[in-house]
A and B are shown apart, each in its own frame.
Chain A
């Protein structure tokens, strides 16, 4: 298989303005610390794309650059045909689960209703149409019966679904999801991926980070592997290509027989130095 880093095969037809996301030569970081450099990426509307890479590779930062939360130092960024941040009401961003205060006094439907706030505007209270949109969004992720529960009373997978429902209720065209399937069991992962695939088929663009390579390979249509810069970009199978993985994970990777990939990215961890990830691609 051949692939060209940062030049995916399916992008030559559309101009940058028609792309859901178009990044060219982007660098970004925090204070004086570089997190991304030379990142070029084109994403068509309706894509279902996974960003993979070891911890600290810059997955979350890339998502935040697209969301307009972290400014690009250089290069050009176009999101839904506009500068990042300009098409904000058409974007839904879901943060990593660890960043959410799960004890917050809010119900499931309250969280989903937040998706309606930006379009409602100041001083306007949610009305009947908003409540209906919230119900529909909750139904679409199978969480309607939990509408009145406190958000923290749910399981991990249910919490992710509620945040997806918020994106659906917002009627967003671009979903930016940070680790939407991390730490949920296989069945839940499948459910969530089914919801994402359905939304992509409906024309929404979905970009999700994950460090679960098996999931990226099985459930996404396109995979972008990054490690500060894009090291591979192509169809989902590349997530399991040993050469590409070796580049993305720069050596902290062992490929065993029988399609079993053992990933040891301990050296990339700032936070949890002893964590190990084992991924079995089912085979």
Chain B
């Protein structure tokens, strides 16, 4: 019990705990749409694209999240624009922008004199480094994202499930797609310091993926994803603290473990359930 309560005496840990809950929640909520739309690759690309923004913000002594937000949102909107305006396959365009922006980040990073531990922590995540002022900025950004979903959840849902039907009945499906890409970008900005640019896509995708194995209802899926995301982030934070390892790695390993456990044992036909049950489910569908 002390192991759990003892760290709570440190303000740095309390800040990290608040950040973990924020990241777990926002990633799961936005990630639910990401998973249902098959945007995982775009999420990964936007995560990497945030890096040059972080480096430039560091060089200018500005808050990292401002630089990250400009770079990530800019890339997200460019992806949306380019894939609509060219005949190139979306994954091709994304691959080009993804590598190019990340290369720019690495280029700037390596041009800075000396070893920059602060910046390195953005690559692999160090949730215990989050300063008070950054945390306030992230809470505001995360609040904006959650508010946007609270306003647009049903329009995003309809245009995800049936974009043609939604557009024909008057929903601005194209604009909603840009809004969603922007929300993905902001979610990544909220999360990069905690889980790191390299791993941030896992927080978007893994909790909703685990939830999708357990329910056929959209609302429950999002709720379960939040539970998994928050649990993963908080347990991962403790592991990071106890074992002194990169928080991004420990958080992602916990959500991955949750996913694998659900995959193996879930009552709706886990891989390790007796075969008879799986077959019964198959014939019921």
Contacts and interface: CB of A to CB of B under 8 A. Distances in A.
Given A105-B212, A114-B161, A67 B168 contact: yes
A117 B164 contact: no
Interface stretch (B3-11, B149-157, B239-247): B149-157
A243 to B, nearest CB: 35
Q: Helix, strand, loop or mixed for chain B's interface?
A: helix
A122 B150 CA distance: 9
Interface of A: 31, 64, 67-69, 85, 88-89, 91-95, 99-101, 104-107, 110-111, 114-115, 117-118, 120, 122-123, 125-126, 150, 152-153, 163, 166, 170, 172, 176
A93 B154 CA distance: 18
B165 A150 contact: no
Contact of A91 (B157, B168, B285): B168
Contacts of A125: 154
Nearest to A152: B285
B170 A118 contact: yes
B151 A69 contact: no
Nearest to A126: B154
A122 B170 CA distance: 12
Contacts of B111: none
B12 interface: no
A117 B171 contact: yes
B2 interface: no
B217 to A, nearest CB: 6
A50 to B, nearest CB: 19
Given A88-B169, A117-B158, A123 B217 contact: no
Contacts of B257: none
Contacts of A101: 36, 161
Contacts of A95: 162, 164-165
B1 interface: no
Contacts of B154: 114, 117, 120, 125-126
9 contacts: A68-B168, A88-B168, A105-B36, A105-B212, A107-B217, A111-B161, A114-B166, A115-B169, A118-B170
B161 A93 contact: no
